[in-house]
Amino acid sequence: MTASTSPQSAAFGLWPSPISAATVAAGATPLSQPQADGLDAYWLAGRASEGGRTTLLRQRGAELLEMTPAPLNVRSRVHEYGGGAYLVVAGTVYFSNFADNCIYVIAPGEAPRPMTLPGSARYADFAHDAARNRLIVVREDHAQAGAQPVNTLCAIDADGSETILARGSDFYAAPRLSPDGASLAWLSWDHPRMPWQGTELWLAPVQADGQLGSATLVAGGPDEAVCQPEWSPAGVLHCVSDRSGWWNLYRLADAEVQPLCERAAEFGSPHWTFAVSMYGFRSDGDIICTYIENGVSRLAQLSPDDGKLVPIVNPYEEIRELRVGGGAALILGGSPTIPLELARFDLASARPDVLARSITDLPADGYLSVPESITYASGGNGQRSAHAFYYPPCNADVTPDGAGKPPLMVISHGGPTGMATNTLKLATQFWTSRGFAVLDVNYGGSSGFGRAYRDALKGQWGVVDVEDCVAGARYLATRGVVDPERLVIRGGSAGGLTTLCALTFHDVFKAGASYYGVSDLKGLDDDSHKFESHYNEYLIAPKPESVALYLLRSPINHADKLTRPMIFFQGLDDKVVPPQQSEVMVSALRAAGVPVAYMTLEGEGHGFRKADSIVRTLEAELYFYLRIFGLTTPGQPAVVEIDNLPGAA
């Protein structure tokens, strides 16, 4: 796409844009979970046009091969969020198929075949035990109806038979075999902790019969979050721990956990999904790693012997995953001018070779807003600092008509330990190219800024996150760069609660959008899946103290205070935040005479994967704001029905 040579005058919000909702849906291919197998590179790619199916791709030389044609869907449902859905070992692929939860195997030159039988179990985070010709996996068994599933570490032989290796903890992750196959390391944790609050790293010998010997606690505990255990080529166990207040790298040597590089930076991330990797080993034992400093990713080589950290020049400011193998590093990264892409870095020359791009047809630079990283005062007395990325409106075809300042969209991310990044996203540029400013907020509780910042949300969900979004909008309005009368907020999941609380308990925002957002904290407890069933004990308070706070902070109990127009989007198959949470809020707003719209999507769960869903929701949200702000033109067809809209026929 190229920019026009004759800019036209148009009001903010009504700028003609080449970035349509269909462009957003078609242009962004989700990329995840890169793996190296010798010189071959593997990764997962989402197919929005195929109902959100995820397929496995292999790059071998100049050949790109789809390993899992439709209807195969490489996705795990362990913890509901999945991850760690496949493993490649010497050309053989093992993967979890979403439809039946079975593990399939693809041997070289053969078609995929099931390794396990359909049943009540789900599998994730595979490790290969070559000496015993088996997989070691995290298994989640849903056999007992009405009860929480049982999580274990399990060995699966080539014939599909299963043997439990470790049980008794509520959760398991990251089974990792030593290079000689003699020892197994893994992570576990128990309710009410989430894995970024406290995990335990265990180590046990593997006995001759394949069972585990007596396990030793190596690191971690209730207040120490350990993640990504890995073995070096020499058989030294490494991990990432936040015992210093930052997720730093450590190794086990002489029965001690030794720091490798003490730094106010994050070498790890919250365990929402399995098998996320932020470091790996060269054949000589040196570490290729990525870490986050002040919200921006860096790439470096670390020598474990002297702790020397040598930067590796690269174009990325977000590095989501990293894998090392075959003399190269596979990096999933992006920047303000680069959408998420998969690159192979030759470690000898540091030369990148892009293997896959999430967006292949990128609009011209003149339509793309480059964000500014901002820090501003927040909290009751401005005693805290909050971080965000500010995107100004940008469209080379348009000159603002001079009528005021642009509307501002504040985005509250989900998680709530998630992290807003500055990687180029068409979903953001959809708004900025139409004359909206966007503020993507890393509120207190976000990852990437150390444990203290993450713990700022402890007991304060619905307070600190909301304060930081409100303060960000006020900060920009005070600077005179946005219109204080056209401030909107949107969020999904946990960010939906932030959005609803901001609109219910504050008067800054004029409208908002909730994507499968939480409105009822007690209902979230009642309906939640096992992984998050105790999360509110950290975010709000343990019972019985939480009862009063649930009433106080749940927007569903204060619908009479919610007088701002809202639009709700809800997947009907959502098991994390069930539809009833949105439906109760919509009914209350309808009854109160507040403008409200509600769009449900069949076949969608917690997060929308289908191209049609992405198009419908974006077009409806834009239409909603334009109608609320009186910017639509006469005769414009309705995209979504808005109840209680003044002046509507």
Q: How confident is the model over 70-96, as pLDDT tens digits? A: 999 999 999 999 999 999 999 999 999
Higher pLDDT, 526 or 34: 34
Largest CA distance in the chain: 78
What is the length of the chain?
649
Omega into 416 within 30° of 0, i.e. cis? yes
Give the pLDDT band (50/70/90) at residue 608: confident
More confident residue, 306 or 648: 306
Cβ within 8 Å of residue 2, ≥6 positions away: 364
Q: What are phi and psi of 225, to 5 degrees?
A: -95, 115
Average pLDDT in the 154-159 region? 96
Q: Compute CA distances 196 → 225, 263, 273, 275, whole Å.
A: 5, 18, 12, 14
- Proportion of the chain above pLDDT 70, given as a percent: 98
pLDDT tier at 633 (50, 70, 90 boundaries)? low
Instruction: Determine the pLDDT at residue 648.
Output: 56
Whether the bond into 484 is cis, omega within 30 of 0: no
Whether 8-21+363-628 and 31-168 share one fold: the answer is no
Q: Distance of alpha carbon 272 from its chain centroid, rounded?
A: 7
Residue 51 predicted with pLDDT over 60: yes
Q: Is the pLDDT of residue 111 over 70?
A: yes
* CA-based R_g, the chain, Å: 25
The mean pLDDT value of the chain amounts to 93
Structure tokens given for 302: 């670390």
Give pLDDT, residue 5. 59
- The residue written with tokens 């406290």 in the block is 198
**Beta bridge partner(s), residue 626:** none
For residue 193, pLDDT beyond 80: yes
Q: How far apart are CA 126 and CA 95, in angstroms?
A: 9
* pLDDT over 70 (residue 504): yes
Nearest-CA neighbor of 617 among 644, 635, 597, 634? 597
Architecture of domain 8-21+363-628: 3-Layer(aba) Sandwich (3.40)
Where along the chain do its domains lie?
A: 8-21+363-628, 31-168
Q: Residue 25, SS3?
A: helix
C-alpha torsion angle, residues 92, 98, 100, 101 (rounded to 10):
70
Token pair for residue 247? 């997720």
Q: Would you state the pLDDT for residue 601?
A: 94
Instruction: Evaluate whether 297 touches 318 at the Cβ level (below 8 Å).
Output: yes
Query: Residue 310's pLDDT is what?
Result: 95
Query: What is the pLDDT at residue 404?
Result: 86
pLDDT attached to residue 146: 83
Q: Which of 4, 8, 2, 96 is nearest to 400 (CA)?
A: 8
Q: What is the DSSP string of 397-419?
A: TEEE-SSS---EEEEE-STTT--
Tell me the pLDDT tens digit for each residue of 447-500: 999 999 999 999 999 999 999 999 999 999 999 999 999 999 999 999 999 999
Pick from 249-258, 433-442, 529-538 the range whose average pLDDT is largest. 433-442
pLDDT value at 54 more than 70: yes
**pLDDT (0 to 100) of residue 152:** 98
The full DSSP string for 294-352 is TTEEEEEEE-TTT--EEE---S-SEEEEEEEETTEEEEEEEETTEEEEEEEEETTTTEE
| pLDDT value, residue 649 | 44
Any idea which residue has 């046990």 for tokens? 204
Q: What's the confidence (pLDDT) of residue 442?
A: 97
Beta-bridged to residue 323, according to DSSP, are 330
Alpha-carbon distance 156 to 129, whole Å? Answer: 10
Q: What is the pTM of this model?
A: 0.92
Q: Confidence class of residue 124 from pLDDT cuts 50, 70 and 90? A: very high
31-168 is a CATH 1.10.10.10 domain: no
Cα 15 to Cα 1: distance, rounded to the nearest angstrom = 16
